[in-house]
Amino acid sequence: MAELCYFTGPMDCGKSTLALQLDYTHSAGGRRGRLFTSHDRAGEATISSRLGLIRPAIEVAPDFDFWLYVVDELTSGERIDYLVCDETQFYRPRQIDQLARLADELQIDVFAFGIMTDFQTLLFPASQRLVELCDKIEVLQVRALCWCGQRATHNARTVDGEMVVEGDQVLFGDTVAFGEPGLTGEPTEVVSYEVLCRRHHRRRVTRAVAQATLSDPLPFGRDGDDEALG
């Protein structure tokens, strides 16, 4: 029985590294697979990990149809045993339905990797669909830590260094600036992401805020559970 497996965790927990390793393991075992991604940090049609591994992949556009793609490949004599799908939070829910159908009707294993919740702690639509349809969910061991040393479980978005809790669900960041191309050379807003523990996500205490706080009198007072700030 082929399975649809969903591997998830916050940003920086090693999902893409595991995706590439899983592909390596299966292809070394003689199986044939295909890699897919959407808006990888290194650009289109690439799966890259923070450890520096990089592999070409098929870019999943909103109108991409996994079912038709695989049927076309099989019809033209190609063999496909499994699919590795990275950055699944950016897919469309119906694309997740296509992946489930491939597992059920064509016996193709699907390994899906992605973030479950956005910077507002809400489920991405495709992530919700994966939770609803997958055979099993594996929550990856969190390697990333909040600045306080707790496990970093929530994704925070910052704009020009300030944590924001409103805005579009999908906004690419890290190295990307957005805004009107500066004819005047005006700097545009810089979007970035940081992983925090839930407590500091709720309080909007990013690393930068914490550092500023440490040099000032404590703004929160000592409420007993905030040793990390004091």
Name the site residues for Zn ion (rule: CB under 5 A).
146, 148, 150, 197, 200
Closest distance of CB 146 from Zn ion, Å: 3
Give 133 or 229: the residue with its C-beta nearer to Zn ion: 229
Neighbouring residues of 105: CB distance < 8 A, sequence distance ≥ 6: none
Q: Cα–Cα distance between 27 and 25 in angstroms, integer?
A: 6
Beta strands in 26-81 (DSSP E): 33-37, 46-48, 54-56, 58-59
Closest distance of CB 148 from Zn ion, Å: 3
> Is 2 in a helix, a strand, or coil?
coil
- Phi, psi (5° rounding) for residue 92? -95, 145
Closest distance of CB 155 from Zn ion, Å: 13
Given the residues 44, 87, 105, 132, select the one marked as catalytic: 87
Question: Is 87 known to be catalytic?
Answer: yes
Give 129 or 200: the residue with its C-beta nearer to Zn ion: 200
- Cα 93 to Cα 64, 96, 125, 222, 228, distances in angstroms: 12, 5, 6, 45, 40
Give 15 or 154: the residue with its C-beta nearer to Zn ion: 154
Closest distance of CB 150 from Zn ion, Å: 5
Neighbouring residues of 121: CB distance < 8 A, sequence distance ≥ 6: 154, 201
Give 47 or 152: the residue with its C-beta nearer to Zn ion: 152
Q: Cα–Cα distance between 187 and 66 in angstroms, integer?
A: 40
Which residues participate in catalysis according to the annotation? 87
